[in-house]
Chain A
Amino acid sequence: MVESAAVDTEPGVDAPTVVINYGGDEKPFEYDPRETVERLIARAIERFHLTAQPHQLGLFLDGAELPRDQTLEHAHVKPDVHLLLKQIVVEGG
């Protein structure tokens, strides 16, 4: 079996789409199945206009955090699913 390499480019025309929810705000994202979870988080930070660093945020599918070094394909992200972007740690003191 040949493993597909992670890509670092923008998804092309007719790329599949997922919806990302950040704090209740939902936006559609075209994606390339070969891009990493980390890369999609970075794009979401830009699109939602967030000040957080990528390592402070996690992308969740059905309550489980997606491994950030995996490609979306290997993380079992399918077209049209709803992903949740949230701070990994919320605390104060």
Chain B
Amino acid sequence: MGLQVGERLLEQSLSTMRRCGGGRRECVLFWAARASDTSRVILVEHPAHTATRDGYSVDGNWLTQLWERMATDDTRVVAQVHTHPGVAFHSRTDDAFPALSTPGFVSVVIPRYATEDLDLGSWFVAELQEDGNWQSQPPLIVIT
């Protein structure tokens, strides 16, 4: 069973990344779910971050505030989503520096700065395994 994401949240994600990256820089956001049902994405978090044409870095203080808020709200980040300038794949940096290192955490990479229409077939989606490796095994995202 994959991560269930509503079409509206997907469109919101693409819209946010297009606006933030401007077709020139990468962008990152997080998908969050209730702690009691981590299979269904209910909101999009757009972190404070810096970005270049081929990389991004999330602000540590912003992350601190998010983890504190999630403890109060009983929500959890279940996936990180970021754009690439070209094709979607997981770079060594993507492998090594995720927001969470919990097995089952999902990473989504969207090609061409998310400037294209929604097309899951062009995305790279991987799940963190118990051994610390990332495995891409569809379907990890299910549109609801």
Q: A residues touching B (Cβ–Cβ < 8 Å)?
A: 21-26, 48-52, 56-57, 60, 63, 84, 86-93
> Closest CB of chain A to B80's CB: distance in Å?
8
- B67 near A24: Cβ-Cβ < 8 Å: yes
> Closest CB of chain B to A9's CB: distance in Å?
26
Q: Mark B50-87, 1 if CB is under 8 A from A, else 0.
A: 00101111101101101111110111110010100000
Q: When chains A and B are docked, how far (Å) is the Cα of A84 from the Cα of B131?
A: 24
B28 within 8 A of A: yes
Q: With contacts A92-B28, A93-B26, A93-B54 known, is A25 near B101, CB below 8 A?
A: no
Closest 8 CB pairs of A and B: A24-B70, A93-B55, A52-B101, A51-B132, A90-B58, A91-B57, A92-B94, A50-B101
- A24 near B102: Cβ-Cβ < 8 Å: no
> Closest CB of chain A to B66's CB: distance in Å?
8
> Closest CB of chain A to B50's CB: distance in Å?
9
Q: With contacts A21-B71, A86-B64 known, is A92 near B132, CB below 8 A?
A: no
> Closest CB of chain A to B107's CB: distance in Å?
8
Q: When chains A and B are docked, how far (Å) is the Cα of A89 from the Cα of B99?
A: 8
Q: Beyond the given A24-B71, A90-B98, please list 14 additional residue pairs across the A-B interface where CB-CB is below 8 A.
A: A23-B70, A23-B76, A23-B99, A23-B100, A23-B102, A24-B69, A25-B35, A51-B128, A51-B131, A86-B64, A87-B97, A87-B101, A90-B57, A92-B26
B71: A residues at CB distance < 8 A:
21, 24-26
> Closest CB of chain A to B48's CB: distance in Å?
11
Q: When chains A and B are docked, how far (Å) is the Cα of A60 from the Cα of B61?
A: 11
- B63 near A90: Cβ-Cβ < 8 Å: yes
